[in-house]
Amino acid sequence: MTKKILAIDKDNFLVNIFKAKFEELGFDFVEAHDTKEGINNFHEDNTDLLIAEVLLDRMNEMDMLREIKKDYPDLPIIIFSELGQESDIEEAQSIRVSDYFIKSKSTVDQVVERSKKILK
């Protein structure tokens, strides 16, 4: 069964890079560009991994991730965000995300490699 990855990020260019890389590796890839769309896509698809930016615009994304983790405690979540303050990382860790990457210090390839390890 093919693993499904949902990426939530407002950056279309970045999402398209993720899509190309994950589809090349044989994963199903679903995208969303804001929190509301992300929640809708999450509930419509059987997501195996969630990659999320926490700097979107419609609601508190950490609250969204908390709600998802409450209902799906074993779902792996990777944050790939512009936010890099220690308080942001600590808040994400309190939600039990699988990993936290800061966009200015990380690459898409690092996120892809981590995702592959998680989904083994």
Instruction: Tell me the per-residue pLDDT of 13-34, one tens digit each, with 9 for 90 and over.
Output: 999 999 999 999 999 999 998 8
Residue 50 tokens read as 């969630």
pLDDT value of residue 105? 96
Query: With 70 as the cut, is the pLDDT of residue 57 above it?
Result: no
- CATH number at 4-118: 3.40.50.2300
**Residue 98 — left, alpha, or beta (φ > 0 → left; ψ -120 to 50 → alpha)?**
alpha
End-to-end CA distance of the chain: 12
Max mean pLDDT among 29-43, 61-75, 92-106 falls in: 92-106
Q: Where are the domains of the chain?
A: 4-118
Nearest-angstrom CA–CA distance, 81 and 30: 18
Model confidence, pTM: 0.92
pLDDT at position 6 is 96
Mean pLDDT for 86-100 is: 93
